[in-house]
Chains A and B, each alone.
Chain A
Amino acid sequence: MTKKNRSLPLVVSSSLGGVEILRKGLSSSFESKVREGKVTCSEGCSSCCYHPINISILEGILIYRHLLGEGKWTTVLKARLKETADKQFGTTYEVWLLSLIPCPLLQDNRCLAYSARPLICRTYYARSDPHYCHPHRLGDNTNLVPRGGVVDEFIRKQEQILRKLKLQMLVMPIGLALLLAERVVLGTLDIDMVDSMILREYGDKT
């Protein structure tokens, strides 16, 4: 028997709405600035999908809901989320980057949740040859569009929203965020227990 998605408490739903509006606003203003200059990114290039991606539980819920709505939330995907979360949680950014662990949402070189992808992905644009976006080739030849504080602003504002939910601004690998998001939406985990749950289940496994 499958569990039904419950209605989230009003305070959580309104927080999610706030994050969604914030994310859309920040990414669309950033993208309009990006269009003013030369960008070398093209469809099918997935080098940045091997870069570390950490998100908050709220962004995780937004992406989870999108995947569920699109019929892409499968047991195969869940297994992949678990597998990558186990490798990524507690790993340094350098090891994560150099190990070439793909984002669990990358399938056939495409993002399973492209229209709902994290803000950090929406603000990654290259001006140099995409060859140099590969994690092993990052360096002086890599030229990215400066984010100009967009991600910092997103984090700061999410921090304020999360504080109202009695949560810290804790970011986690996308795989883990999506797995926890499912539990929050199904009602098997209260959102204000997410921080302590991560520490309990993952804190002693590193």
Chain B
Amino acid sequence: MKVFSPTQEEKDSLKKMGEKNLLERYAYCRPCVRILSEPKTAVALMSGVLQFQARAIGVSSASAEAIAERFGSKALKLTKKT
């Protein structure tokens, strides 16, 4: 288990993204930390969840795939910059 405490800057950006229940500490299991620490697997996980959720609310498979791909490539570019 690994516990993260977000910085003020991170808290602000989470708020900006619409997070209403901000926590002081976030706990993740170790395999998840490893997955999320690597841009490739982290972006794959997030775009995969996005695609599944989009389909679950009725978005067509093709559109859900396109949305997830757009998100994935943007997120990868961002991780390369940081």
Contact = CB atoms under 8 A, between A and B. Distances in A.
Interface in A70-122: 86-91, 95, 97-101
B55 interface: yes
A155 B52 CA distance: 30
Interface stretch (A32-40, A55-63, A134-142, A144-152): A134-142
B77 interface: no
A200 to B, nearest CB: 15
Given A87-B34, A206-B29, A95 B45 contact: yes
A137 B48 CA distance: 8
**SS of B interface (majority):** helix
A99 B61 contact: no
Nearest to A173: B31
A186 to B, nearest CB: 27
B44 A141 contact: no
Interface residues of B, number: 21
A135 B41 contact: no
B35 interface: yes
A137 B61 contact: yes
Interface in B28-82: 29-32, 34-35, 40-42, 44-45, 47-49, 51-52, 55, 61, 65, 68
A137 B50 CA distance: 11
Interface size on A, as a range, is 10 to 19
B31 A87 contact: yes
Contacts, number: 58
A129 B45 CA distance: 23
Contact of B29 (A90, A101, A139, A141): A90
Among A88, A89, A99, A101: residue with most chain B CB under 10 A: A99
Contacts of B55: 139
Contact of B35 (A99, A139, A141, A205): A99
Contacts of A88: 31
Nearest 10 Cβ contacts at the A-B interface: A98-B48, A100-B44, A91-B31, A99-B41, A99-B45, A136-B48, A87-B34, A99-B35, A90-B31, A136-B51
Given A99-B41, A99-B42, A205-B30, 14 more contacts: A86-B30, A87-B34, A87-B41, A89-B31, A90-B30, A91-B29, A91-B31, A91-B35, A95-B32, A98-B48, A101-B35, A136-B52, A139-B55, A206-B30
Interface of A: 86-91, 95, 97-101, 135-137, 139, 141, 205-206
